[in-house]
Structure 1
Amino acid sequence: MMTDFSKSFLEERITLYKQDLLNDIVPFWIKHAVDHEDGGFTFCLNRDGGIIDTDKGIWQTGRFTWLLATLCNEIEPKEEWLSLARHGANFLDRYGFDEDGKMFFIVDKKGNPVRKRRYAYSESFTAIANAALYKATKEEFYAERAMQLFHNYRKLIHEPGIFPPKFSMHRNMKGIGTLMIGIVTAQELRKNLNDTTYTQYIHSCIDEISQNFMKSEFEALMENVAADGSFIDHFDGRILNPGHALEAAWFILEEARVNHHNPSLIELGTTILDWMWRWGWDQEYGGIFYFRDVKGLPVTEYWHDMKFWWPQNEAIIATLLAYELTQDPKYANWYQLIHDWVFEHFPDRQYGEWFGYLHRDGRLSTPLKGNIWKGPFHIPRMYLMAWQIMERIKEKF
């Protein structure tokens, strides 16, 4: 069992994360995803990077644009990264919006609309992309676009009647996803636009998560609750999503870190992590489950016990941040457990990047590298944040 991080251990991991990010993950997507003919990026890729579908996800375009601009801001102002970030933002600006101002979910290769969804995540990810580009360029257009998109996001998710209701009033539910994304979107805008007015919204989302979604009787963070925050004893109400919960935990821990190690936020974030690690970690095979039932009943989603890439990414960030803020060796041990399992199973040593979908025991389910859901976001964000967290920990030696 790992009880602490040595300086040499930190240096080795920093080197691993840095080299994988800059020499494998980012180059894979730049080589295979950039559409120089019609603009934007093509994310639906086979194991070797070959294109298997030319449709383009707007969420993913915003995410990759954010990543490229963030690399410019936090690693080096590399012209290739900045040029490609502009390339992504231009595609979003030209093809991402319907006539009513709502953003699309999927467009085809040339930017023609394919699908819209009731969600507003295209707005949130395009907002953080523009905010990061503003910091990289200081061009006011990007700041104005980021602020407007975040305003649209808040309006779309908070004002009733804009979308047809998803549930009837007989079982009106709300999910944690919009609150989580609201937190991290506002954090990115606050950082890149240098605007502290976003803090109030961040803390309002955290308060709602704490008051309505945390259920001490189950020691669990719920994925869905009733409109008044009460527990719903049906499939959708009992479901747990450990990946979402661990992601929420580190969003809250990051807020604690940037607010002078706020003790109440540290307690909240680590409580969520403690609860949901116990729900999510697979004691038999390792890795983080996709879904669990809070009463231990069968889950209907067929992928409930699969190991997707992104919950593992969030677990690595959450455990590292928890260790940084508390120095509790428990989190060092959990970090090592998830790191070892992930790096044994997910990276593709032959063609680069990561597989995304594994069976419970770690066997490969599909060899694809990208689709409408998997792209250059969770994995490179994990590498970058793990590198940065470990640099901060090392500075204390």
Structure 2
Amino acid sequence: MSVKLNQLKSELESELDAILEYWSTNTVDEKNGGFIGQIDFNEKQIENSEKGSVLNSRILWTFSASYKITQNENHKQLAARAFDFLSTYFYDTQFGGLFWSITADKTPKDTKNQIYALAFAIYGLSEYYSISKDEKALEIAKNLYLKIQKHSYDPINKGYLEAFTRDWQPIEDLRLSDKDANEKKTMNTHLHIAEAYANLFKVWNDEKLQDDIIELLETIEKYFMNTKTGHLRLFFDENWIEKPDVISYGHDIEAAWLLLQCAEISGNQTLISNYKKYAVLIAAMTKEGLDYDGGLWYEYDPKKDELIAEKHWWVQAEALIGFYNAYQLTGDEKYLDIVLKNWDFIKKYILDKKNGEWHWGILRDYSLIKKDKAGFWKCPYHNSRACIELINRI
């Protein structure tokens, strides 16, 4: 087995280099600064495209986290470029939030405070601080954390509300994207606040932050974790009345390993023990979303008994970590077999062998999904993180 693992590690090291090479070569925006907002399916850079804060924050995280493995100075410089751009143009010094998007000429476009975006900024900023020791990065990360606690945290019912206007007033459209339910509390945002707070705690050992992480993990456990089904509940109103939706295999398997990691960072032994159990339970149940070719389907709609028959790049990336994590926890080689088969699937269908990076995904008939190579939602974070996590774990 060690031979197979060494080979997997070696292939993932090469793939991490390839992902970083693509983003280094193709996405630096020499004309407008920062990084290009969109590269379409045909590798066409969309001139003067809108720039999203989530993409910028994930680029910041990717080059910062990767630098720890590659020790490549160019990667550190690109992280610095992403930090400078985020802190100068996305960070809202007037109201202390983060613009969702800016135009190519760097003026604010969509000024809403989407808490998901603030969380990713904290995640990227704290990772950058860990390699740069730039106090300004830590300062902004702390400020964003305090803003989330002040405006988004629900002191009565617990948990966090989704979105606000630029000046922190209630907003009607709370959705991250068109496909989401317009609800006040979502699994996706809670997952990424936990991820962000845990990463911040690694570089800022603050007792209140630690308490907030513990409470958040307890809240997730209470409302989002469905121990009967081994899947996550996705949408609630502010009073925790569930609005049933799809089963999201990608979010399930991502949460399986990521929430355990957050629990370990929090140091709370009860949560660590509980989230170890959930990690294995979710992985066992996510197996139902695996296809015979090793790929993991995107979503299943229980109401319609209908599979959303797409295999997205990010879902495969999270499957690599989630199933490897289950293998580490149980020693059961069936999970390692899933990882190896999933990696073969990725190599065969998801890697763009001609241009680099990963395709968005494939449909049931193995035709490519013709969506961005880089854009608001197509970032280097899921696939680089899968490489980094497995390299470190192996």
Judge same fold: TM > 0.5, yes or no.
yes
Q: For the aligned residues, what is the CA RMSD?
A: 2.6
Tell whether the 8 Å contact from 2:250 to 2:318 is kept in structure 1 after alignment: yes
Q: Which residue of 2 is the match for residue 241 of structure 1?
A: 248
The answer to whether structure 1 residue 204 and structure 2 residue 212 are counterparts is no
Q: Which residue of 2 is the match for residue 164 of structure 1?
A: 171
Rounded Cα–Cα distance in structure 2 between residues aligned with 1:151 and 1:366: 39
Select the residue among 293, 305, 327 that pairs with 1:297.
Answer: 305
Q: Which residue of 2 is the match for residue 37 of structure 1?
A: 31
Instruction: Decide whether aligned partners of structure 1 residues 334 and 198 sit closer, same or farther in structure 2, where only a CA change above 3 A counts.
Output: farther
Select the residue among 8, 21, 37 that pairs with 1:27.
Answer: 21
Tell whether the 8 Å contact from 2:28 to 2:36 is kept in structure 1 after alignment: yes
Tell whether the 8 Å contact from 1:134 to 1:143 is kept in structure 2 after alignment: yes
How far 1:71 moved relative to its partner?
A: 2.2
Q: Tell me which moved more, 289-298 or 380-389.
A: 289-298
Tell whether the 8 Å contact from 1:47 to 1:351 is kept in structure 2 after alignment: no
The answer to whether structure 1 residue 97 and structure 2 residue 91 are counterparts is yes
Select the residue among 184, 192, 203 that pairs with 2:203.
Answer: 192
Q: After TM superposition, list the pairs within 5 Å mapping 1:288-327 onto structure 2.
A: 288-295=296-303, 297-298=305-306, 304-327=308-331
Select the residue among 340, 346, 357 that pairs with 2:344.
Answer: 340
Q: Tell me which moved more, 374-383 or 364-373.
A: 364-373
The answer to whether structure 1 residue 71 and structure 2 residue 66 are counterparts is yes
The answer to whether structure 1 residue 379 and structure 2 residue 386 are counterparts is no
Q: Tell me which moved more, 158-167 or 208-217.
A: 158-167
Instruction: Structure 1: give runs of 5+ residues left out of the alignment.
Output: 1-5, 391-397
Rounded Cα–Cα distance in structure 2 between residues aligned with 1:367 and 1:373: 10
Rounded Cα–Cα distance in structure 1 between residues aligned with 2:325 and 2:240: 28
How far 1:318 moved relative to its partner?
A: 0.5
Rounded Cα–Cα distance in structure 2 between residues aligned with 1:173 and 1:146: 23
How far 1:286 moved relative to its partner?
A: 4.7
Q: Tell me which moved more, 252-261 or 288-297.
A: 252-261
Tell whether the 8 Å contact from 2:98 to 2:118 is kept in structure 1 after alignment: yes
How far 1:49 moved relative to its partner?
A: 4.2
Tell whether the 8 Å contact from 1:252 to 1:266 is kept in structure 2 after alignment: no
Q: Which residue of 2 is the match for residue 395 of structure 1?
A: none
Q: Which residue of 2 is the match for residue 267 of structure 1?
A: 277
Q: Which residue of 1 is the match for residue 10 of structure 2?
A: 15
SS at match of 2:46: strand
Tell whether the 8 Å contact from 2:53 to 2:99 is kept in structure 1 after alignment: yes
The answer to whether structure 1 residue 287 and structure 2 residue 301 are counterparts is no
Q: Which residue of 2 is the match for residue 354 of structure 1?
A: 358
Rounded Cα–Cα distance in structure 1 between residues aligned with 2:312 and 2:262: 26
How far 1:386 moved relative to its partner?
A: 1.5
How far 1:290 moved relative to its partner?
A: 2.2
Instruction: Decide whether aligned partners of structure 1 residues 118 and 146 sit closer, same or farther in structure 2, where only a CA change above 3 A counts.
Output: closer
AA aligned opposite 2:5 = L
Instruction: Decide whether aligned partners of structure 1 residues 144 and 231 sit closer, same or farther in structure 2, where only a CA change above 3 A counts.
Output: closer
How far 1:166 moved relative to its partner?
A: 5.2
SS at match of 1:319: helix
Q: Which residue of 1 is the match for residue 235 of structure 2?
A: 224
How far 1:11 moved relative to its partner?
A: 1.1
Instruction: Decide whether aligned partners of structure 1 residues 128 and 293 sit closer, same or farther in structure 2, where only a CA change above 3 A counts.
Output: same
Q: After TM superposition, list the pairs within 5 Å mapping 1:110-129 onto structure 2.
A: 110-117=105-112, 119-129=114-124
Instruction: Decide whether aligned partners of structure 1 residues 76 and 370 sit closer, same or farther in structure 2, where only a CA change above 3 A counts.
Output: closer
Instruction: Decide whether aligned partners of structure 1 residues 335 and 143 sit closer, same or farther in structure 2, where only a CA change above 3 A counts.
Output: same
Instruction: Decide whether aligned partners of structure 1 residues 366 and 18 sit closer, same or farther in structure 2, where only a CA change above 3 A counts.
Output: same
SS at match of 1:52: coil
Q: How many residues align?
A: 370
Q: Which residue of 2 is the match for residue 393 of structure 1?
A: none
Q: After TM superposition, list the pairs within 5 Å mapping 1:144-155 onto structure 2.
A: 144-155=139-150
Instruction: Decide whether aligned partners of structure 1 residues 101 and 190 sit closer, same or farther in structure 2, where only a CA change above 3 A counts.
Output: closer
Q: Which residue of 2 is the match for residue 365 of structure 1?
A: 369
SS at match of 1:292: strand
Tell whether the 8 Å contact from 1:319 to 1:334 is kept in structure 2 after alignment: yes
Instruction: Structure 2: give runs of 5+ residues left out of the alignment.
Output: 155-160, 162-167, 175-181
SS at match of 1:364: coil
Rounded Cα–Cα distance in structure 2 between residues aligned with 1:327 and 1:199: 31
Instruction: Decide whether aligned partners of structure 1 residues 203 and 271 sit closer, same or farther in structure 2, where only a CA change above 3 A counts.
Output: farther
Q: Which residue of 1 is the match for residue 165 of structure 2?
A: none
SS at match of 2:149: helix
Rounded Cα–Cα distance in structure 2 between residues aligned with 1:367 and 1:221: 27
Q: Tell me which moved more, 142-151 or 92-101.
A: 92-101
Q: After TM superposition, list the pairs within 5 Å mapping 1:47-58 onto structure 2.
A: 49-53=43-47, 54-58=49-53
